[in-house]
Amino acid sequence: MKRFLKLSTIEEGKEIIKKFLEKIGWEEVDLFESVNRVLAEDVVAEMDVPPFDRALMDGYAVRSEDTYLADEDNPVILKVVGSIRAGDSPNIEVKSGEAVEIATGAPIPKGCDAVVMVEYTERDGDSVKIYQGVAPHENIQYCGSDIMAGELVLRRGTLLSPRDIGALAAIGRRRVKVKRRLRVALISTGDELIDPGKPLEDYKIYDVNTYTLAASIRERGWDFKFYGIVRDREEDLIRTVKRTIEDNNDIVILSGGTSAGRGDLTAKVIEKLGGEIHIHGMKIKPGKPTVIGTVPGRDGTPKLILGLPGYPTSCLTVFNVLFGGEERSIRGHFPLRYMSAKGRVEYLPVSVVRGSEGYTVYPILKGSGAITSLTYSDGYVVIEESKEILEDEPVEVCLFGNIKFGLSIVGSHCIGVDIILREGNIYAKTINVGSIGGLLSIKRGEGDIAGIHLLGENGEYNIPFLERYNVKDAVLVRGYIRRQGFIVRRDLPLETLEDILENIDKYKFINRNKGSGTRILFDKFLKERGIDRSKIKGYNIEAKTHSAVGMAVATGRADIGVGIETVAKQYNLRFIPIGEEHYDFLIRSEKLEDEDVMRFIETLKRVDLPFKKPSNCGEVIYKC
Amino acid sequence: MKRFLKLSTIEEGKEIIKKFLEKIGWEEVDLFESVNRVLAEDVVAEMDVPPFDRALMDGYAVRSEDTYLADEDNPVILKVVGSIRAGDSPNIEVKSGEAVEIATGAPIPKGCDAVVMVEYTERDGDSVKIYQGVAPHENIQYCGSDIMAGELVLRRGTLLSPRDIGALAAIGRRRVKVKRRLRVALISTGDELIDPGKPLEDYKIYDVNTYTLAASIRERGWDFKFYGIVRDREEDLIRTVKRTIEDNNDIVILSGGTSAGRGDLTAKVIEKLGGEIHIHGMKIKPGKPTVIGTVPGRDGTPKLILGLPGYPTSCLTVFNVLFGGEERSIRGHFPLRYMSAKGRVEYLPVSVVRGSEGYTVYPILKGSGAITSLTYSDGYVVIEESKEILEDEPVEVCLFGNIKFGLSIVGSHCIGVDIILREGNIYAKTINVGSIGGLLSIKRGEGDIAGIHLLGENGEYNIPFLERYNVKDAVLVRGYIRRQGFIVRRDLPLETLEDILENIDKYKFINRNKGSGTRILFDKFLKERGIDRSKIKGYNIEAKTHSAVGMAVATGRADIGVGIETVAKQYNLRFIPIGEEHYDFLIRSEKLEDEDVMRFIETLKRVDLPFKKPSNCGEVIYKC
């Protein structure tokens, strides 16, 4: 049972979109409205910029030959025969031995061929002392030297930046022809979808694609109109698509549904409306179930109908691939092994970390069913159809629009870090990979700071692990002391550690991810007490953060979690302590002088945290 | 006479702006309006995403243990006890030997722990044949595996991208707190300024800064209001600034004037309005005459008053430096020698060319008086205060927003190239450096295609130069044949080459830039005819393009120019031929397979050009 008989290539898809976009007409806009619009004309200058020879400095316009002998000790004295301000007419002719006071931007008077900067002059009534000679042409901006009449200033197709708009203003253009704003109709399809902001019904999910697409359309400077969530019935869909066409939209995008059958439905709608299907299935991962067709508009011009896949990550990826965008890329190293999709070009979302040796590129492996695959990625790596394995090799990362490298804080999650970042006003990317993950990232020279709390066999925190893992070129900065323990719902009859131990197989637990300090503590606890892991319900359910544990217990999804006291308080849950631990910061040595890192440590020392601070908080306690 | 007694550092300036911006409050917006806004809250998930365990594929939900023995030849047959679509309630319990038909996104019914993809099944009435076994958990997306309740989804300060908005939609957020849009008042100052679109008066120039600033403000998603061009009088300025404060703007930017004295005027206005001056002069090049102050608003909250330098390049550079922005940078090689400003941090605009060995970074040396310094730059290199010389070394280029590397076409300007790019719909950066400059750029491995027309001593075109300059790893593709000659105003009594030769010292010429093929042709012509260059008026006035020559003659700025026939026709000027020449394309060998290069050659062959095409047009005629 194969639904996609002949998959089209990405190039075929892009070509259809490109041709369609080329046919969109132009409109004229005021210069104030022109930023980020696409120029629809070649702009040729009809005037020179500047339109006359003008002074580049405040000073005195002179005949340069008069000043050749001037120096600090032997100033040349010239007679000042006038003064020209910017905007004035230069109706003075300067003769030998004369000068004219001139302001920056003012026209150069006849007879002069240079301007002496005011800093090298001293005015004395009707005359001026010149303390430094000037060469011919010095400090003069000649007519047409910036832009010459007849020059092609901007080419059709330019995405107008403030700098481009400056050139348009300089040649006196007030209005420009730009590509018309595209009108895009958005239709969400799917019985399971609910609009964000409305209460979520059982077994429904919130509509995501409408919002990611709307934002992407806005980002491109286009207009959208949302036609609502339509149920999965052909008649409903046909009625809505008809309405979008009556409204004279250029493009209609259907998305939201996840089932493969929905692509067929889009195709059927296109056929029923007398349209043509160009693509039904595309060789791309994610995004195979993509449909592209056209339907005749009211006046006969074709309207593009796009059926995008339902998974948010697939949907947005296909949209971005088809409609292109800014193509900024960086090269980085892919340190792992990854098996790619056969027979399709794969767009693999990745996270980029800037280290001492360049960029390291990590795949984000949540799958296209997860929206956060994209949210937490910096871009993607394109793996060609013929390539099956990506392994320990350089890759090119196509970056998303607004990547921002701040501090890279890896390791264990702690709300203390959130507070420090907020209070210190430090921009950072936090990657919660647990204490061990953070330690390894610092060792590899990728992350800047890792928050770690690792209990060694000897009861000492963190330092034994730095030795065991042979970490180099890093320092350990003392952080704060946290109380770890069980986080328990208040309505349960569990008040002491003994209560828990006696009932350990009766309640639902929520665990932390492998490699997290809390997980190590919990495993050590179980081992010391001789408790069999398999007896613990929920042992394999892993939350990535303390807060997620708190929320799981607070909402009753679990009865007992393991985590820090602060979180138990935050969610008003019972806390049964297991012990105290040191949460410290492992920092790459070469980053210690970094402004943000210094501010981080300074903020750690300064602010109130909901944890106990030892007297040496913020100090380097170990160098490796 | 020093006006800037104590210059402030860039860091001091940035810190003032940063602190001011932090105090701007927030507003709540609908998700549809949230793209590119700055999040003003930490967003914590209050629900799990997905909110229930769901199918990742269309297929059959099963107990995985039932399928272990299934393979192509020995399918397992299960009884189908129901069907669940996305959005349905899963009110079925599946027992051993049973399966439920399930759609992507539908909830997993009780008893099942995996989904078999529909591709590996065959339905037969009430039962289904399973042709491939599944492992536990396969094709199920577990509740909370994308986002877990309690997780910090997005941090305050995030610039919301479509991907972030997707995460907000997924957790049901309809409205978000974002930083309020800043309200910026723009005032242009200067007696010499005219609004673009109005006729230009003598010795005036068009206002540029208002438009570059407005566009930059728009790009940041802020609002602006333009208060017009104000003359350089204190009373006028005070009146207008008062009005901007009554209108409750957050920031007032004064710019436009070029004179150093204008900074003092801004400072005076701030003082007269009871404000405070924080910075008067900054250690930055360009942009020294920057003034930053605050003036109390109606309700006492301080309003920021910014006096920016008048030169467009200085003005926009200082704005961008102070207000920050996306910090994307690339590393490249700076191949030349450049002396930097002492005692100031210099922001040097540069052009970046992507070559086989990485990026090459060229300074743009038109000076801050020229707007095109920025228009035609890709970014800037920051040269620290202490560094005096930049020479043949690696540099970091901070890129402007919308850089786009297409084909890099260097060399001689020809409207034929413009036509090919347009008709072939090829995006390219054209750098008009003349034929020799183009040839050298290809030799260095920077440019992709160079248009060249170089007349060798033996009368042969182009090939002798490839040999003389020892160009390697490139091919010469035959282009077209152009007629070169004198371009003359029709009202002059010059009809033949003899007329020109007899009157060569009587008329104003406009020349082409050094290194251009036309210049070489003209110089050879003068030499052969034994004409002294110094006799030619305007020999040193250099236009960069053929069109600029045409425009100069058409508008009477020059009487005679040298250029191609096509341009003479375009401007309806007389054309007196000197000879025919081959305009060919030098292409780096490794780029011959590049899609855009292939399209360029194909378009060259295909389209009608206003030039004669030889029979071997588009063919490789020489390999080096």
The reply to whether residue A150 touches residue B545, judged by beta carbons under 8 angstroms, is: yes
Query: B325: pLDDT confidence band, cut at 50, 70 and 90?
Result: low
Query: B374: pLDDT confidence band, cut at 50, 70 and 90?
Result: confident
Q: What phi and psi, each to the nearest 5 degrees, are found at residue A93?
A: -110, 125
**Looking at residues B284-290, what average pLDDT do you find?**
86
Q: Give B584's DSSP letter.
A: E
Are B401 and B324 contacting, i.e. CB atoms less than 8 angstroms apart?
A: no
**Token reading at A149:** 């009449």
Looking at residue A149, its pLDDT comes to: 81
Do β-strands B114-117 and B59-62 pair in parallel, antiparallel, or remain unpaired? antiparallel
Are B333 and B358 contacting, i.e. CB atoms less than 8 angstroms apart?
A: yes
**Residues A507-536 pLDDT 10s:** 999 998 887 888 988 998 899 899 988 888
A36, A49, A203: best to mutate for the B interface, most B CBs within 10 A:
A203
Report the mean per-residue pLDDT for chain A: 89
The reply to whether residue A169 touches residue B207, judged by beta carbons under 8 angstroms, is: yes
Q: Shortest CB distance from B1 goes to which of A22, A118, A200? A: A118
pLDDT > 70: what percent of chain A?
Answer: 97
The H or E element spanning position A333 is strand A329-339
Are A493 and A500 contacting, i.e. CB atoms less than 8 angstroms apart?
A: no
Of all residues in chain A, the one with the smallest CA distance to B202 is: A89
Chain B contact set for A543 (CB, 8 A):
148, 150
Chain B contact set for A214 (CB, 8 A):
32, 35
Rounded Cα distance, B441 and A264, in Å: 52
B14, B53, B104: best to mutate for the A interface, most A CBs within 10 A:
B104
DSSP string, A464-479: HHHHHTT--SEEEEEE
More confident call, A260 vs B446: B446
The reply to whether residue A168 touches residue B218, judged by beta carbons under 8 angstroms, is: no
Does pLDDT of A255 surpass 80?
yes
The reply to whether residue B260 touches residue A106, judged by beta carbons under 8 angstroms, is: no
Whether the ω angle into residue A286 lies within 30 degrees of 0, i.e. cis, is: yes
Does pLDDT of B402 surpass 60?
no
Of all residues in chain A, the one with the smallest CA distance to B213 is: A162
Of all residues in chain B, the one with the smallest CA distance to A1 is: B119
CB atoms within 10 A of CB B311: 29
Looking at residue A258, its pLDDT comes to: 56
**Looking at residues B476-493, what average pLDDT do you find?**
94
The reply to whether residue A370 touches residue B145, judged by beta carbons under 8 angstroms, is: yes
Q: Distance between alpha carbon A548 and the CA centroid of its chain, in Å? A: 25
Chain B contact set for A377 (CB, 8 A):
163
Looking at residue A127, its pLDDT comes to: 96
Q: What phi and psi, each to the nearest 5 degrees, are found at residue B197?
A: 100, -25
The H or E element spanning position B244 is helix B234-246
Burial of B48: CB neighbours in 10 Å, binned 0-12, 13-18, 19+: buried
Q: Shortest CB distance from A374 goes to which of B85, B163, B219? A: B163
**Residues B135-194 pLDDT 10s:** 877 898 888 878 878 778 888 888 899 999 999 999 999 999 999 999 999 999 988 999
Are B332 and B359 contacting, i.e. CB atoms less than 8 angstroms apart?
A: yes
Rounded Cα distance, A197 and B545, in Å: 58
Rounded Cα distance, A464 and A480, in Å: 18
**Residues A68-97 pLDDT 10s:** 899 999 999 999 999 999 889 988 999 999
pTM for the whole structure: 0.74
Are B315 and B213 contacting, i.e. CB atoms less than 8 angstroms apart?
A: yes
**Residues A574-604 pLDDT 10s:** 999 998 999 999 999 988 988 899 999 999 9
Judged by DSSP in three states, A608 sits in: coil
Q: Shortest CB distance from A89 goes to which of B87, B167, B202? A: B202
Global ipTM:
0.76
Q: Give A168's DSSP letter.
A: H
B251, B215, B114: which is closest to A37 by C-alpha? Answer: B215
**Looking at residues A161-184, what average pLDDT do you find?**
95
**Looking at residues A403-420, what average pLDDT do you find?**
81
Rounded Cα distance, B427 and B353, in Å: 14
**Looking at residues B498-527, what average pLDDT do you find?**
88
The reply to whether residue A206 touches residue B172, judged by beta carbons under 8 angstroms, is: yes
Judged by DSSP in three states, B72 sits in: coil
pLDDT > 90: what percent of chain B?
Answer: 51
**Looking at residues B401-418, what average pLDDT do you find?**
77
The reply to whether residue A169 touches residue B210, judged by beta carbons under 8 angstroms, is: yes
**Looking at residues A561-573, what average pLDDT do you find?**
90
Looking at residue A326, its pLDDT comes to: 57
More confident call, A152 vs A275: A275
Q: Distance between alpha carbon B348 and the CA centroid of its chain, in Å? A: 16
**Residues A364-392 pLDDT 10s:** 877 777 888 888 788 889 999 888 899 98
**Looking at residues A26-49, what average pLDDT do you find?**
93
Chains A, B: CB pairs < 8 Å: 406
Contacts of A6 (CB under 8 A, 6+ apart): A280, A281
